[in-house]
Amino acid sequence: MKTIPETLLIIGGVAGGASAAARARRHSETTHIIMLERGPDVSFANCGLPYHIGGEIPDRADLAIQTPASLRSMLNLDVRTLTEAVSIDRAKREVLVRDLADGSESVITYDKLILAPGASPLRPPLPGMDSPLIHTLRNLQDMDRIKLAAAAVEHVAIIGAGFIGLEMAEQLHAIGKKVSVIELQSQVLPQLDAEMVRPLEDTLREKGVELILGDGIDGFETTGSGIIAKLKSGKNLTTGLVILSIGVRPESGLAKDAGIELGPRGHIKVDGWQVTSDPDIYAVGDVCETEEPILGKRIAIPLGGPANRQGRTAADHIFMGEKALRYPGSIGTAIVRVFDHAAGIAGYSEARLKAESVDYQTVTVNGASHASYFPGAETITLKLLWSPDDGRVLGAQASGMDGVDKRLDVIATALRGRLTIDDLAHLEFSYAPPFGNAKDVINVAGFAAGNIRDGLLVPVPDLKSAGAQIVDVRPAATARKQPVPGAVNIPLGELRHRLDELDRGQPVFTICQMGKTSYFAARILANHGFDARSILGGAHHQL
């Protein structure tokens, strides 16, 4: 056991800071725990902010998980809100702080210091950025301002189609606003691979949300009645309100000024116990970067789950020393609901693996959220990525609605356990018709991945990668209703008798509705000597 610190100073009172404070108090009743928070609120539900704007969380008070008073009463914390840390004197272990109410400054001496200042929304220095009609969403006050401003306008422009941008689009639509979403990338949710978010894009458009993809913002011009967003394409978008959600920047200025080591993108570097380059100073949450456990790269994941658990880790190390459990690194698990569709990711996307020049294999399969013969089953599309060297899972993405979160959580667990595609094939899930499947979509992804390795499945990622000889093996009626461009229809049941219709001299590309029958067909063809390849995900995913 280490020496119990007399004073623990925590800068930041939301996810990481609040978790650190709570955990520290479990270890010691005697330590003076001071929590500084620049804003008026501590420990609020920042992930819930969009849902109060849209009215889905009607009571604002539900977002205040703790108050300064409750933290004082429950945790005996010395909470100082509206108080900003100005500078750190590491040699003296002192922090200069400013009371934002009266501007007075004072010095706090610490034994241990935890930095949990979070990250602030990016506000690029563009012309017209000083308009009061441009908002970002970080705290309850931002939320209140947006809610009030939105009430008075017909149209809102959201810049950035990441998780928060899409949640805001959904919630503003829910209160009757017309919404345009502008995204620099040519897809929404650039954390996921493009083809996996197409259903989200379709859903948004069906609801009447305008998507302007592959276009950025050049500046703004405030008019008498609103604001004009000037796009790089030259297009001008007139709106009543702008929400800027193009990413966040770690609030590491204080640490940097104090000479604490930062990573290449400005995050504070920490070890497994969240210790910075100064052994008495810890950093947790959005401000820090850690090593991820899949490929061992440095990573910064600005999400609540990692922040909370990093806060806990820092507190444990302060009071338990090397006996404390190390934070095992963030893998990046995320999900978003957009109307009646959900999509998410755990681990690496294909785009990130490409960017890191990491060798990978991938397969995309469809499955039912629960037994397809039981009412209410919905289709889930799962894209799996793994290492061809050892079959280890590198990441997965899921798209659908019911049960998308479950599959991502299983993959997140598999990533933590360094499981392989063969392990996925034999995961034994809870199965009763209302809840699951005898062969879940994750098992099927494992099967398909193994089939690729064993040469039983020769996958074609998409229709445009297919050659000239495409065979649609769906029933004739289905093929007529939703034809596959360029395909000849030979239903699976007739295939063995109609082999003569195909040219053995060139590859045959099979397609069906869900990507399963096309695999069956390709096996028949391959066993009859054809070079047969199956188009992944079927018409459900490709058309």
Ranges within 45-104 binding a second copy (CB under 8 A): 45, 47-48, 51, 56-57, 62-63, 65, 70, 73-74, 76
Closer to a second copy at the Cβ: 167 or 195?
167
Q: Is 339 in the site for a second copy (CB under 8 A)?
A: no
The DSSP line for 456-474 is: S--EE-SGGG--S-EEE-S
- Least distance in Å: CB of 156 to a second copy? 20
Among 35, 181, 346, 449, binds a second copy (CB under 8 A): 346
Tokens of 267: 């995050």
CB of 376 to a second copy, least distance (A): 10
**Beta-carbon contacts of residue 292 (< 8 Å; ≥ 6 apart):** 298, 299, 329, 330, 331, 332
Q: Is 264 in the site for a second copy (CB under 8 A)?
A: no
Based on CB atoms, which residue is closest to a second copy, 88 or 164?
164
Are 268 and 300 within 8 A, CB to CB?
A: no
Of the pair 18, 212, the CB lying nearest a second copy is at: 18
Answer whether 277's CB lies under 8 Å from 82's CB: no
The SS3 call for residue 60 is: helix
- 328 is a contact residue toward a second copy (CB under 8 A): yes
Nearer residue to a second copy within complex by CB, 210 or 405:
405
Rule CB under 8 A: say whether 196 interacts with a second copy.
no
Total chain residues near a second copy (CB under 8 A): 92
Show contacts with a second copy in window 369-408 (CB under 8 A).
371, 373-375, 404-406, 408
Least Cβ distance, residue 115 to a second copy (angstroms): 19
Does residue number 454 form part of the binding site for a second copy (CB under 8 A)?
yes
Among 432, 477, 481, 505, binds a second copy (CB under 8 A): 432
- Restricted to residues 152-171, the positions that interact with a second copy (CB under 8 A) are 163, 167
Single-letter amino acid, residue 224: G
By CB under 8 A, residue 335 contacts a second copy: yes
Could you tell me which residues are beta bridge partners of residue 248? 121
Task: Output the smallest distance, CB 176 to a second copy, in A.
Answer: 20
The nearer residue to a second copy, 234 or 455, going by C-beta atoms, is 455
C-beta of residue 515 within 8 angstroms of C-beta of residue 535? yes
From candidates 323, 354, 480, 504, binder to a second copy by CB under 8 A: 323
What three-state secondary structure class fits 340?
coil
In angstroms, rounded to a whole number, what is the distance separating the alpha carbons of residues 92 and 358? 45
Of the candidate residues 124, 127, 214, 417, the single one contacting a second copy (CB under 8 A) = 417
- For the segment 267-296, give every residue that binds a second copy (CB under 8 A): none
Determine which residue in the list 180, 290, 443, 469 makes contact with a second copy, applying CB under 8 A.
Answer: 443
Phi, psi of 139 (to 5 degrees): -135, 180
Three-state secondary structure along 268-299? EECCCCCECCCCCEEECHHHEEEECCCCCCEE
Residue spans of beta strands (DSSP E) within 323-420: 333-338, 341-347, 361-368, 379-386, 393-400
The yes or no reply on residue 428 touching a second copy (CB under 8 A) is: yes
**What would you measure as the largest C-alpha separation in the chain, in angstroms?**
89
Nearer to a second copy, 157 or 532 (CB): 532
Options 24-32, 80-88, 183-191, 358-366: segment touching a second copy (CB under 8 A): 24-32
- Residue number with CB closer to a second copy (394 or 463): 394
CA gap 301, 417 in Å, rounded? 20
* Binding residues among 118-157 for a second copy as defined by CB under 8 A: none
Q: Do residues 215 and 133 make contact, with C-beta atoms less than 8 angstroms apart?
A: no
* Shortest distance (Å) from residue 199 CB to a second copy: 17
- Looking at the Cβ atoms of 258 and 408, the one nearer to a second copy is 408
CA atoms of 94 and 21, how far apart (whole Å): 19
Q: Using CB under 8 A, pick the residue from 124, 214, 434, 467 that binds a second copy.
A: 434
Contact flag: residue 327 with a second copy (CB under 8 A): yes
Single residue of 40, 253, 263, 304 touching a second copy by CB under 8 A: 304
Q: Which C-beta is closer to a second copy: that of 215 or that of 286? A: 286
C-alpha to C-alpha distance for 383 and 366, rounded to whole angstroms:
9
Strands (E), 118-166: 119-121, 134-135, 155-159
Two tokens, residue 134: 């441009």
Tell which positions 519-538 bind a second copy, by CB under 8 A: 520, 523-524, 527-528
Angle, in degrees to the nearest 10, between helices 68-75 and 15-27:
20
**In the set 265, 418, 480, 498, which binds a second copy (CB under 8 A)?**
418
Closest to 168 in 3D by CA, of 182, 176, 152, 179: 179
Select the residue interacting with a second copy from 8, 25, 294, 348 (CB under 8 A).
25
Pick between residue 404 and residue 460 the one whose CB is nearest to a second copy.
404
Q: How far is the CB of 100 from a second copy (least distance, A)?
A: 27
Among 450, 459, 507, 538, binds a second copy (CB under 8 A): 450
Q: What is the DSSP letter of 112?
A: E
Question: With CB under 8 A as the contact rule, which of the stretches 94-102, 135-143, 348-356, 435-443 interacts with a second copy?
Answer: 435-443
Close Cβ partners of 65 (under 8 Å, ≥ 6 residues apart): 18, 43, 44, 45
Give the integer Cα–Cα distance in Å for 282 and 288: 9
In degrees, rounded to 5, the angle at the alpha carbon of residue 42 between the alpha carbons of residues 40 and 46 is: 105
Q: How far is the CB of 170 from a second copy (least distance, A)?
A: 10
Classify 10 as helix, strand or coil.
strand
Asked if 502 is part of the footprint of a second copy (rule: CB under 8 A), the reply reads no
Tell me the backbone φ, ψ of residue 204, rounded to 5 degrees.
-60, -45
